[in-house]
Amino acid sequence: MNRLFSKKKRYFLLSFLLVLSMFFLRPAGEAAATGTTPGFAIGSTPFRFLGGFLPGWHWGLEYWSEAADHDLIASARASGMTVIHIMLPQFETSLGSYDEAKLQKLDHFLDAAYNANVYVMPSFIQAYSETLDAMNPYYHARSIEGIIKDPTLHGGLTLREHFRNRIAALVNRTNTVNGRQYKNDPTIMAWIVCDEPISAPFNYPNGAPQVTLEELTDWFQETASYIKSLDSNHLVTVWSQPAIQAFFGWTLDYLQALGIPEFDFMYTEDADLGIVAGSVQGYNCTGQTPQYMLDQFLPGKPVAFHPAFTSGCWDTNVICTDNFATQAGNLSLAIPEYFEVGGNAVLIENWGTDLYSAVPGWAQCREYTDSVASIVNVTQTNSELVNPEGYPAGPLQFVNVIYGLNVSKSGSGSGTVTSNPTGISCGTQCSKVLSRGNVINLTAQSSAGSVFTGWSGGGCSGTGTCEVTMNAEITVTAAFNLIGSIHELSVEKSGSGSGTVTSNPAGISCGSDCTQAYSEGQSVTLTAAADPGSIFGGWSDGCSGTGSCEVTMNAYTIVTAIFALTNVSPEISPNEGTIGTQIIITGSGFGTKKGKVLINGIPAKIAKDGWGLTQITCSINKPPFPVDTGHPVSVVVNKVPIPVDGTFTLKAPVVDDLLDSSGVYSEPIRITGLFFGAKKGKAYLYDPATEKKKNLKVTDWKMLESTGVSELTFVVPKPSKAFPAGTYQLKVFNKVGTATASTNFTLKPLPLP
C-alpha cells in the first residue's frame, strides 16, 4: 500500500478545534443522538464497526478455495470484523471481455459473506498498481491518467468508457449462487470507485499522472453518478491515501475531489499511523501529525479509516519476527483514537486465512489470521467497545448514511422553527438525524414584537421556506429581530469603471444618494447598473456575485459595488518563465466566474482566489513548448478568447558561474541561476568522454516564482570505480530543458586516512 513520502507537516488549529467540537463517540446500539456526528445506519440503528482489508492476490488460482472463503469470513466475524473491503479478482481479461470463472469466485464470496452476516465493500480497480501492469487491459504508462483522460480509442471506446462498462457489468450482474443481482444485494455495503487514485511518486516509474484537480474531480463525479444511476441501494466512495494531499500542493484543495456530494463517506488510509501523534511509523519513519486524518471530517461526511501495515518502519525484520506483537501494540493505540476523534469505522490491513494453499512471498508476514492471538485480542476488544450489539444481525439490510440537521437562532428577537416532515420544533427540539438524500422543509414563525429576517446556512436564504437535502451534516440559522430598531445601509463603489446602485424599497440611488436608514429586520434589495463603457463586476462586503444583492437590516451595513472599464486590453507580466512562474494578467471584464488562461493553447494553472474582474494570477503547470519562442496568450471568458498584449517565452534553466567549482565527498555545494522551476528537478555530473552521468543528491531546490531567480544545493558524491575523482560537466535538468554550467566541476578524491 501507499506510504506517505514527505516530512512536511501542517497545523490547522481552527479546523482541528472544529472537528473535535463536532464529532464525538457513540456506541452503535444507542438511539441516534440529537445534534450529531454523521454516521452509518442499519435501518434506524446507528452502525459503527471494525473491518478488514482483503488484498487482490487472494483471488489467485493457487490461493483461492471455497473453504478458504468460508474460513476467512467466519474468522473475521469471530474476531469482531463485520465489513470486508476487497480488491476484485482481475476478471477483465481484455477490454470488455470478462472471465466468468473468476466472477463466480466473487459470487461465492458474496454469498458466503451474506450467510455469515458480514458486509462487503468491493473496489472496481486498484488505480495505481493494476493500471501500471502491462498485462492489465487498463494499462497506461502514467497509471490512472489513462482512464481519466487518454483520448486513445480501443475498439471504438476510450478507457474511461470501457471502465463505465466494467462498472455496469458488475453492478447488473446476477449472482450464480443465490440469484441476487449485485445492485439488489444487501451484502454489498458500498461500491469503491477505485483504490489509491493517487499514490506516492516512487510508485510511478514513468512519472506521476498528469491529472489536474478539476479533471480528477470531474471523473469522480461522473463515475459515482453513473454508479448511482444503476444502483440506488448502495453507498459509493473512493479509498484514498495521504499522498493525494502532497500531489495537489499540501493544501486542503484535494478535498474538493474527495468531498463531492456523490461520495457518501470519506475512506482513507493512515499510512503512518499518524493518528497517534508522534508515532514513528511509515516510509520515512518521521512521525506524522494527526492533521490529515482530522481534515477528513471537514466535508461533513462519515469517515472510515484504514491503518496500513507499518510496524517497524516497513522493516520485515520487525514485522516478521515478533509474531505481530509490535503491530498489535500500535493498533491498540491507534484504533481507539480513530473513534475518539469521531471516526465511524476502522478497517485493518490485511486479513487472511490459514487455509490458503499458498501466499505470495512478500505477503507471508503481512497478513493477519485468527491464529494470531495478539491481533485478535485487539480487534475483539475494540469491536465490543464500538459495536457492543455485534451488528449486523441477519438477515442483512442495506446500510445507509445518517446526518444531523441542526437549527440555530440568531438576532435580538425570538421565534420558532418547525419542520416537514416533523422532528424539528425549535423552540426546544433543534436537531434531527436524517438519512442520506432525505428532503426536509423548515418554516420560521416570529414571536409577537419580532420579525423573521432570513435564513443562512444549508443553502438557504431569504424569508420563505428553507428546503434542505441531506447530503452532509448541515446547520441552518434563522434570524429573528425586534421590530422598531433603525439601522443605516451604506453603498460604496470601487473599480476603474462607473455605474449606479438603486434600492427596493426606495431610498438609495447611488449616483449621489448612497446612504439610507431602514427598520430592524427589513429586507432591502440592491440592483447595480453599469454606465456605458463599463461593466458591473460584482458585490463585495455584504453580498457576492453579480445578481441582485439582498440585505437584511440587523445592524449598520456597508455593501460595495465593483465597476470596471471594458476597454482595457489585457497585459501579461512577466513575459518569460518556466514551470511554477507566477504570472499576473491585468485588464478588465474578466468577470467573477473563473475562465481559462491559454499560453500557446495550453491552460495555465489559476491560483486559488486568483481570478478577479481586473486581474488574474496564474502559473505555468504544463510547459508551452518550444522554448525561447514568444507564445501567444489569451484569456477565455465565457468561452470567448480575449488576446493579451505581449507574448510569453518559455525558458530552460540557466546556471550561473559556479561559486564552488570543486568539492569533496559529502560537502554541500550551492548553485544559483534562473528558471530551475518550482518543482524539484535533477542535477547531475556528466562525462562527455564516456557519456556516463552521476545523479546528485539535491537537498534544497528553490525558485522565486515572481522572478525565476533560483538556487539549489547538492551533496558531493563519493568517488567510485564507475565514476572516479575527476573533472565533469555539471548539469541541471527540469521538464523544460537542461542547463550546463559554464565551468566544469571537479570531484576531488577521498582524503587519505
DSSP annotation string for 340-375: HTT--EEEEE-B--TT-S---GGGTTS-B-TT-HHH
Cα dihedral 419, 424, 430, 435, rounded to 10, equals: -90
Dist. CA 110–CA 122, nearest whole Å: 10
pLDDT at 175: 98
What is the structure's pLDDT at 32? 31
Q: Number of C-alpha atoms within 13 angstroms, CB side, residue 709?
A: 3
Would you say residue 408 lies in a domain? Answer: yes
Q: What is the pLDDT of residue 343?
A: 95
CA atoms within 13 A on the CB side of 635: 29
The reply to whether 503 falls in a domain is yes
Q: Please report, for the domain that includes residue 65, its CATH number.
A: 3.20.20.80
Residue 218 and residue 312 in one domain: yes
Mean pLDDT over 486-499 rounds to 87
CATH number, domain at 596?
A: 2.60.40.10
Measured from the Cβ of residue 393, the count of other Cβ atoms closer than 10 Å reads 11
Q: Give me the DSSP letters along 157-200.
A: B-HHHHHHHHHHHHHTPBPTTT--BGGG-TTB-EEEEEE-SS--
Tell me: cis bond preceding 400? Omega within 30 of 0 counts: no
Do the Cβ atoms of 406 and 35 come closer than 8 Å? Answer: yes
- Alpha-carbon distance values, 239 to 59, 87, 684 (Å): 20, 11, 38
Residue 16 lies in a domain: no
Phi then psi for residue 213, to 5 deg, are: -60, -40
- Cα(first)–Cα(last) distance of the chain, in Å? 44
Backbone angles phi, psi at 237, to 5 degrees: -155, -175
- Tally of CA atoms within 13 A in the half-sphere of 671 that contains its CB: 35
- State pLDDT tens for residues 274-293: 887 655 444 344 455 688 99
Q: 315 pLDDT band (50/70/90 cuts)?
A: low
Residue 25 in domain: no
The full DSSP string for 381-426 is: HHHHHH-TT-S--SSP--EEEEEEEEEEEESSS-EEEEEESS--EE
pLDDT for 83 beyond 80 = yes
Could you give the CA distance from residue 624 to residue 360 in angstroms, rounded to a whole number? 46
Q: Are residues 438 and 578 in the same domain?
A: no
Q: Measuring CA to CA, which residue among 362, 360, 309 is closest to residue 57? A: 360
The pLDDT value given to residue 464: 86
Sorted by sequence, the CB contacts under 8 Å of residue 249 that are 6+ apart come out as: none
Higher-pLDDT residue of 537, 707: 707
Same domain for 436 and 377, yes or no, is no
Q: What is the mean pLDDT of the chain?
A: 87
**Are 193 and 67 part of one and the same domain?**
yes
Query: How far, in Å, CA of 287 to CA of 519, rounded?
Result: 58
pLDDT tops 90 at residue 18: no
Q: Is 530 strand, coil or helix?
A: strand
Rounded distance, CA 171 to CA 280, Å?
Answer: 41
Domain final residue, candidates 565, 592, 612: 565
pLDDT in tens, 564-609: 887 788 999 999 999 999 999 988 878 778 999 999 999 999 999 8
Q: How far apart are CA 491 and CA 665, in angstroms?
A: 68
Do residues 120 and 191 touch, judged by C-beta distance below 8 A? no
Phi, psi of 551, deg, nearest 5: -120, 130
Which grid cell is 347? 478497517
> Under a CB-based contact definition with an 8 Å cutoff, are residues 662 and 617 in contact?
no
Are 716 and 613 contained in the same domain?
no
Question: Does a structural domain hold residue 29?
Answer: no
Greatest mean pLDDT range, 259-268, 305-314, 445-454, 548-557: 259-268
Query: Mind listing the pLDDT tens digit for each residue in 394-416?
Result: 899 999 999 999 999 988 889 99
Last residue of one domain, picked from the residues 453, 482, 511: 482
Helices then strands, counting H and E runs in the chain, come out as 12, 47
* Cα separation, 51 vs 84, whole angstroms: 6
Give 540 or 654, the one with higher predicted confidence: 654
- pLDDT class for 734, splitting at 50, 70, 90? very high
Compute how many other C-beta atoms are within 10 angstroms of the C-beta atom of residue 525: 12
Residues 695/680, Cβ–Cβ less than 8 Å: no
Grid cell listed for 278: 508522534
Residue 286: its H or E element: none
SS3 state at 18? helix
Strand partners, 349: 53
Question: Same structural domain for residues 598 and 679?
Answer: no
Query: Which range has highest mean pLDDT (47-61, 112-126, 278-292, 430-444)?
Result: 112-126
CB 624 within 8 A of CB 631: yes
Instruction: Please give the share of the chain, as a percent, with pLDDT higher than 90.
Output: 63
Mean pLDDT value of segment 1-24: 33
Q: d(Cα 463, Cα 701) in Å, to the nearest integer?
A: 55
Specify which residues 83 forms β-bridges with.
51, 119
Number of domains within the chain: 5
Question: Same domain, yes or no, for 157 and 121?
Answer: yes
Residues 442 and 500 in one domain: no
Residue with cell 514485522: 319
Let me know whether 336 and 272 are in one domain.
yes
Q: CA nearest 126: which of 194, 58, 202, 224? A: 194
Statement to judge: residues 678 and 632 lie in one domain = no
Give which of 498, 500, 462 is closest to 478, Cα–Cα: 462
125, 71: one domain: yes
Query: Does residue 496 lie within any of the structural domains?
Result: yes
Q: Indicate the pLDDT class of residue 659, thresholds 50, 70 and 90.
A: confident
Task: Judge whether 189 and 120 are in contact, CB under 8 Å.
Answer: yes
**Amino acid letter at 546?**
T
Residue 469 domain-assigned? yes
**Cβ atoms < 10 Å from Cβ of 556:** 10
Q: Residue 2: its pLDDT value, please? A: 37
Determine the pLDDT at residue 187: 98
**Cell, residue 609:** 482566489
Q: Does residue 706 share a domain with residue 718?
A: yes
User: pLDDT grade, residue 29 (50/70/90)?
Assistant: very low
- Preceding omega of 395 cis (within 30 degrees of 0): yes
Please check whether residue 48 is in contact with residue 28, taking contact to mean a CB–CB distance below 8 angstroms. yes
Question: Which of 520, 541, 565 lies at the terminal end of a domain, its last residue?
Answer: 565
Q: Tell me whether residue 531 is in a domain.
A: yes
Q: Mind listing the pLDDT tens digit for each residue in 512-552? A: 889 887 777 788 999 999 998 888 888 888 788 888 999 98
pLDDT of residue 6: 32
The predicted model gives 440-444 an average pLDDT of 96
Residue 33 burial (C-beta neighbours within 10 Å; 0-12, 13-18, 19+):
middle
Is there a contact between 335 and 296 (Cβ–Cβ < 8 Å)? Answer: no
309 against 514, higher pLDDT = 514
Which of 561, 546, 575, 566 is CA-nearest to residue 614? Answer: 566
**Does residue 319 register a pLDDT over 80?**
no
The domain in which residue 589 lies consists of: 571-650
The Cα 296–Cα 689 span in angstroms is 54
Shortest CA distance to 389 belongs to which of 29, 39, 25, 26?
29
Q: Residue 660 carries which DSSP code?
A: -
Assign 323 a pLDDT band (cuts: 50, 70, 90).
confident
d(CA 653, CA 741): 10
Amino acid symbol at 96? G
